[in-house]
Amino acid sequence: MKQVTQLTPQEAARRVPDGARLMVGGFGMTGNPVHLLHALADAGTKNLTYISNNIGESGIGGGLLLERGQIKKAIGSFFTSNPEAVAAAQTGRIELELLPQGSFVEAIRAGGAGLGGFYTPTAVGTSLGQQAETKLIDGKVYAFVPALQAEVALIHAWKADTAGNLVYRMTEQNFNKSMATAADLVIAEVEQIVPLGALDPDQIHTPGCYVDYLVEVDTKPEDLGSSGSVAAREAGVGGARLRIAQRALLELQPGSVVNLGVGIPTLMAELIRPEHGVTVHSENGMLGVGPSPEEGGAMDYPVNAGKVPVTALPGSSYFDSADSFAMIRGGHVDVAVMGGLQVDELANLANWAAPGRRAIRERPSKPRLLTGIPRRASTRSRATQRRTRLRRPPPSRSSRAL
């Protein structure tokens, strides 16, 4: 059995060259290789193409690289968790390439599997899909998404053995599992390195053949940013927002698998109990989301799509982002509850952007939920539009997204 070389964060950072295409795991700061990123920031490595769901938070993880001007281009889905990333993109300090989150992780999975890309119905007919090659398959239009690969991947895992086999904790699989397959050089920071044979082969998520180097780190709650403590949960969980969530909950039927989008929809998990018979799906890799704990953080609990620590109801399961979006795209999720600015009588959903500025907020988060899910609910908190509208799409059209 091979033995994987162990490095310090500083030694690992020296293996990332200037101008590298760099994949970075994590959903927000959960499962994020923050120690490797901080070492890379200190090394001064520059002109990076940063391939990740988001660019950390202000001054943490990828946010530190951004702050120091080391990122040339970012490819990903949801950059608004770091306001500095939004400002950098809108002012042209970094180039930005947006992909719907499900297409993003599937492109990584395809790259790791040696495929050139794939066809998907996601984003067809939207501004995100305008430049894509399309093909009519069984009467339905699909857009081509090329595979994503990188020269280096930095990932985070909970445990590793000396052969490089990796085990992730709770919702920390997210993008790490796919990224481990899609780069020429894979460096995993892990919280524990155990002897060969100490890991149950049935529990291994990433086989050691994908991993080139291991870095043992001591992760602390402060390394997890806003997910480090439930005390940092989103403000404003009462009042009108909670009433909207309570109203939307009435539409859910026992036995339903329900995806809750970011914002008001995630509040519904605070109200759902086992007796409701509803299974909540979170896009970052969880079925069975429960209410937030009274204390603790992402060191002790999984996180939801809003990066807030939550509890796991009996019968819950964890998986990676590729499986999560396959559930959505494949029609295995019954209902999606999404937040938005406006929705019209035909259930066309509009999100927001500052007039005259490049649109970044939310656009890439919606198309993947509008494809493959038969029933949708929209929530929003504008005083004149506090209603929930549901519809079933006509047979000839899967969805429409703005």
Catalytically annotated residues: 283
Within 10 angstroms of residue 46's Cβ, the number of other Cβ atoms is 14
Amino acid symbol at 274: P
Q: Give me the amino acid identity at 247.
A: R
In what helix (H) or strand (E) does residue 291 lie, and over which residues does it extend?
none
Q: Please, where are the H alpha helices in 34-80? A: 34-43, 62-67
Distance CA 38, CA 56 (A): 11
Distance (Å, whole) CA 64 – CA 48: 13
Tokens, residue 354: 């500052």
Q: Strand 183-194 vs strand 150-161: parallel, antiparallel, or unpaired?
A: parallel
Q: Dihedral of CA 331/286/339/148: which sign?
A: negative
Residue 88 CB burial class (10 angstroms; 0-12, 13-18, ≥19): buried
**Which SS3 state, helix, strand or coil, does residue 315 take?**
strand
| Rg of the chain taking only CA atoms, in angstroms | 20
Looking at residue 49, its amino acid is T
Q: Which residues contact 189 (CB under 8 A, 6 or more apart)?
A: 9, 12, 33, 35, 36, 154, 155, 156, 157, 214, 215, 216, 217
Give the residue among 187, 122, 96, 109 at the shortest CA–CA distance from 149: 109
175 token code pair: 């993008």
Around Cβ 121, how many Cβ atoms within 10 Å? 20
